[in-house]
Amino acid sequence: MKTQILIAALFFGGLITAQQKKDSLKVNAIDAVTLKKQVFKKQGDRLVYDVASSSIAKGTNTFNLLKQTPMISSIDGKTLKILGKNDAIIYINNKKTNMDSEALIEMLKSTPSEDIQKIEVITVPGSEFQVESKEGVINIVMKKSKNNGYNGTLKMQNEQAYYNNPNAGASFNFRQGKWSGNSNFRMGSWTDRQRYTLSNGDSTFKNESFGFNDDPNKNFGGGFNVDYEINKKHSLGFSYNMRYNKSFNSVLDITNWQNGALNNRTVNNEDAQTRNHSFNLNYEMKTDSLGSKLTSNVSYLWFNRDKVSFNESFPLTNDTINKYSALHQAVPQIINNYAANIDYLKKTAKGATWLMGISYNHTNTDNDTKQDKLTKGEFIIDPNQTNHFIYKENILGIYLNYERKLTEKISGKIGARYEMTRSTGDIVDKTGFERNYNNLLPYLNLNYTISSDHNLSYTFSSRIRRPRFWELNPSRTYFTPTNYTQNNPFILASKYYNQELNYMYKNAFYANLSFNMVEDAAASDLIPLQGTVTAPKKDAKGKIIKDIKGNPIMETTRFLRYIRTNYGKNREIALTLGMNKSWFKDIWTTNYSVNLGYVTYKGGVFEDPTSMPVPGETEVVDPYIIDVKNYNMSATLNNVIRLSSKKDWFLGVNYFFASQTAMEGGMIGARQSFDLSLKKIAGDWTIVAEVSDLFNQSFYRIKGVQPNGKFNNITNFNYPRLISIGVTYNFGNQKLKKAREMKSANDAVKSRT
């Protein structure tokens, strides 16, 4: 670890020293070039990447462009992360996107990079942003023009992983007078393949499981946005987005061993469908010539996921205790959300900015889980695992920001968000809960421009993290009858306190130091709870076996449950060193970063909050102790090399490395990815060939050991190597002005579906 830190320090120190040795006689000429080609800079509370001035923004899509943006990474091609943060929330023109995460990634991959003016990375968002925990914001600013006309994009791509995965998409934009709009459609199919190796136990007992999961998917998505400019001060807009995903015949096949002996085989067949429809009506009124405006939104979201599964366990021994078992499970979820908000932005003649707003969200989730188990040759309902869970949530938010320039070199932004949450959860005919809490969430940003080459800023923010709706649904997903994941309706909201110090040198080199505190922390992954259940022994027909005195013969069974729950607190400090710079007249563009971190997790889980007592059975849960202190590091090295003076051939060479990292559930193994891409631009056509994770090293593996000797190990090999070829065709007026992007009132809810 010390060697890695020393190498990073020498690397960045050498770059900065070389930058300082420029000939002073050429300062004026260099400044002129910098003003023209300044692609990366610190601006208030955000890092701004002016991609319109960068050569890498030609002929690719927005997702690939984001991967090349400083502070942003994607190791799996499906998610985007800001270094040192939980997740990245995508905004477009300062307005949160109106779709679920998978549809959003598909939209980004189908959006031409030529439509993007700049990308803003906000590592600690202000009170006006609807984010949770330590999430950062990526704000994509689209190009604007007043030209009438139309344009569009057609894209086809074929990916080869373990299976072949084709996809295609189209988008269309128009502007004519006071009307403007855009629409898009995406479709594709893919099959995820995962290979599992699981082991758990202690010095006296060991359970091992080996198997695979094939999950085929078909996906359709799209939407439209229409904007009407009533006059120069008033605009009205409407947007609609939808997504449909079908995953039928998903098969999980696991073979289980106990103490080195073959025990049984579990096969789980699953069919699932997901539907998502969202609507938004937006009104905007400009109140003066300085940029002040009033914005209001009314939104509705309908989300539905239907999942049915059939789980069978086949004995592979002659042991009478080890017998055939089967169960049916249906896990439907319906979410309805109604939301509204009003924002008023006031700019003063002295350069100050006020932002005030109020928002309201009402959400109703309905989860009607049914489970039947095989008893005496017939499937009968299992009352212990059948439940109808209804969750209702009301959130009222009020927020206020004030921003101004204090001196020529110092500017600041202060704000607060006050949220009142009222929620109820009812498991029909069983139990329920009510939670009411209020949170005051302050925000502060101070920015000091030391000189034209040096910038320093400090930011503080407080946030909460509410559990995702699917995490609250008390359902199970089975690996084996005694090994499964368990959702938890009793998870509490966590409180986050985030601080950050950022330094920028010559708009090319940066250092970012952050410190985060979390109270009532919920595990970022699943907590493995081990224990035993002692219950009456039953025969093949489900009848209780008794001894000669008529008393039930008891037997003890071990279990392993992966649950989501609160455990205590954590602390994290991280330092990111990075640079974004072009060399040799923009022939070679580099985006390098190194992230060094230290994290502690403290607490424990001493009972299963989801366990329902069963008469005649005794359950014992082994305490799960969390006392982790860990150093970790990661590095991202992205290179784009222009191969032709015509700027029509580009080579991408990228490398990512992450050291071992501790989590609440154990130690995640080191991961790395080496990627290559070749891009050809021919007029309106772009052809891209890519190889991601050439050496198959970005898969997930975790090892966890408790103080009492209990262990739990997971290896999930998802065949990460991916070869893809994509063709994009742009047509129409590429300088067309985009329709006004509209904020949705239920943005905060969409990220929780």
| pLDDT tens figures, 343-378 | 999 999 999 999 999 999 999 999 999 999 998 888
| Residue given tokens 């003649």 in the structure block | 349
Nearest to 227 by CA among 239, 214, 209: 239
What is the spatial distance between Cα 672 and Cα 172, in angstroms, rounded to a whole number? 38
**How high is the mean pLDDT of the chain?**
86
| Residues in contact with 637: Cβ distance below 8 Å, sequence separation at least 6, in sequence order | 590, 592, 654, 655, 656
Spatial separation of the C-alpha atoms in residues 640 and 637, rounded to whole Å: 10
Summarize pLDDT for 540-577 with one digit per residue, the tens: 667 888 888 888 889 898 999 999 899 999 999 999 99
Residue 633 host element (H or E): strand 624-642
Report the C-alpha gap between 381 and 598 in whole angstroms.
49
In angstroms, how far is CA 312 from the centroid of its own chain?
33
Sheet holding 88-92, edge to edge: 40-43, 46-49, 116-122, 136-142, 88-92, 95-96
Which amino acid is present at 401? Answer: N
Q: What pLDDT does 612 receive? A: 77
pLDDT on residue 735: 58
Angle, CA of 221, 470 and 523, to the nearest 5° = 120
Distance from chain centroid for Cα 279: 23
What is the predicted pLDDT for the residue at 116? Answer: 83
Output 319 or 341, whichever has higher pLDDT. 341
pLDDT of residue 13: 41
DSSP-based three-state secondary structure for 195:
strand
Provide CB contacts within 8 A for 436, sequence distance 6+: 421, 422, 423
Tell how far CA 333 is from the center of its chain.
21
pLDDT tens string 203-262: 999 999 999 999 999 999 888 989 999 999 999 999 998 999 999 999 999 999 999 999
Burial of 684 by CB count in 10 Å (0-12 exposed, 13-18 middle, 19+ buried)?
middle
What is the C-alpha separation between 23 and 495, in angstroms, rounded?
A: 51
Q: How many other CB atoms are there within 10 angstroms of residue 53's CB atom?
A: 14
The predicted structure's pLDDT at residue 79: 80
pLDDT score at 734: 61
Render pLDDT for 574-597 as a digit per residue (tens, 0 to 9). Answer: 999 999 898 998 899 999 999 999
Tell me what the mean pLDDT of segment 668-678 comes to. Answer: 95
pLDDT of 346: 97
Q: Around Cβ 594, how many Cβ atoms within 10 Å?
A: 23
Query: Which whole number is the average pLDDT over 322-351?
Result: 93
Residue 114 near residue 729, CB atoms below 8 Å: no
- Tell if the pTM clears 0.75, that is, is over it: yes
Which of the pair, 8 or 411, is modelled with greater confidence?
411
pLDDT (average), residues 40-64: 77
115 has pLDDT over 80? no
The two beta strands, 261-286 and 293-315, are antiparallel
DSSP letter for each residue of 527-558: EEEEEEEEEE-B-TTSPBPB-TTSPBPEEEEE
Tell whether the torsion through CA atoms of 85, 91, 95 and 99 is positive or negative.
negative
pLDDT tens, position by position, 597-645: 999 999 999 999 888 778 888 999 999 999 999 999 999 999 999 999 9
Of the given ranges (267-276, 396-405, 414-423, 726-735), which has the lowest mean pLDDT? 726-735
- Cβ proximity of 123 and 514 under 8 Å: yes
Query: Computed from CA positions of residues 10, 12, 17, 22, in that sequence, does the dihedral angle turn out positive or negative?
Result: positive
pLDDT at 3 over 50: no
- Which position has the token pair 């968002």? 125
pLDDT confidence of 314, banded at 50, 70, 90? very high
DSSP state for residue 75 in the 8-state scheme:
S
Residue 22 confidence (pLDDT): 39
CB distance 99 to 241 below 8 Å: yes
Torsion 749-364-284-99 (CA) sign:
positive
Highest mean pLDDT among 60-69, 391-400, 681-690: 391-400
Q: pLDDT confidence of 158, banded at 50, 70, 90?
A: very high
**pLDDT above 90: percentage of residues in the chain:** 58
The lowest-confidence range among 110-119, 152-161, 284-293, 309-318 is 110-119
Cα–Cα distance between 562 and 593 in angstroms, integer?
A: 34
694: left (phi over 0), alpha (psi -120 to 50) or beta: alpha
Interval 274-293 mean pLDDT:
94
Buried residues in 63-92 as b, exposed as e (16+ CB within 10 A):
bbbbbbbbbbbbbbbeebbbbbbbbbbbbb
Spatial CB neighbours of 119, under 8 Å, sequence gap ≥ 6: 48, 49, 51, 65, 66, 69, 138, 139, 140, 141
pLDDT over 70, % of the chain: 89
Average pLDDT of span 272-289 = 94
Lowest mean pLDDT among 37-51, 194-208, 291-305: 37-51
Predicted pLDDT at 547: 84
231's tokens: 């006059």
Task: Burial-class residue 440 by CB neighbours within 10 Å (0-12, 13-18, 19+).
Answer: exposed
Beta bridge partners of 336: 302, 364
Q: Would you kindly state where each structural domain of the chain is located, as residue ranges?
A: 1-34, 38-750
Give the whole-angstrom CA distance, residue 352 versus residue 688. Answer: 46
At residue 478, the pLDDT reads 85
pLDDT at 31 over 60: no
Task: Give me the CATH topology for the region 38-750.
Answer: Maltoporin; Chain A (2.40.170)
What pLDDT does residue 133 have?
85
Range 479-514 burial, b when 16+ CB lie within 10 A, else e: bbbbbbebbbbbbbbbbbbbbbebbbbbbbbbebbb
Tokens 């090399």 correspond to what residue?
Answer: 641
* pLDDT value, residue 475: 84
Task: State the pLDDT confidence band at 299, using cuts at 50, 70 and 90.
Answer: very high
Predicted pLDDT at 37: 52
Task: Please name which of 100, 123, 158 lies closest in space to residue 45, comparing C-alpha atoms.
Answer: 123
CA distances from residue 111 to 57, 60, 66, 185, 728 in whole angstroms, order as listed:
12, 9, 12, 11, 10
Residues 439-449, mean pLDDT to the nearest whole number = 95
Evaluate if residue 689 carries a pLDDT over 90: yes
Residues 6+ apart with CB under 8 A from 59: 113, 114, 650, 679, 681, 686, 688, 728
**Can you give the length of the chain in residues?**
753
- The type of residue at 741 is E
Task: Give the model's pLDDT for residue 477.
Answer: 85
Which of 70-79, 131-140, 379-388, 441-450 is predicted most confidently? 441-450
Q: Give the mean model confidence (pLDDT) for residues 79-95.
A: 79
Type and span of the H or E element at 11: helix 2-20
* pLDDT at residue 36 in the model: 44
Using pLDDT thresholds of 50, 70 and 90, give the confidence band for residue 57.
low
Checking if the pLDDT of 18 tops 80, the result is: no
Instruction: Name the band, by pLDDT with cuts 50, 70 and 90, for residue 473.
Output: confident
Q: What is the pLDDT of residues 165-213, one digit of tens each?
A: 998 988 888 989 999 988 888 899 999 999 999 999 999 999 999 999 9
Cα gap 544→553, rounded to integer Å: 8
Report pLDDT digits (tens) over 489-504.
889 999 999 999 999 9
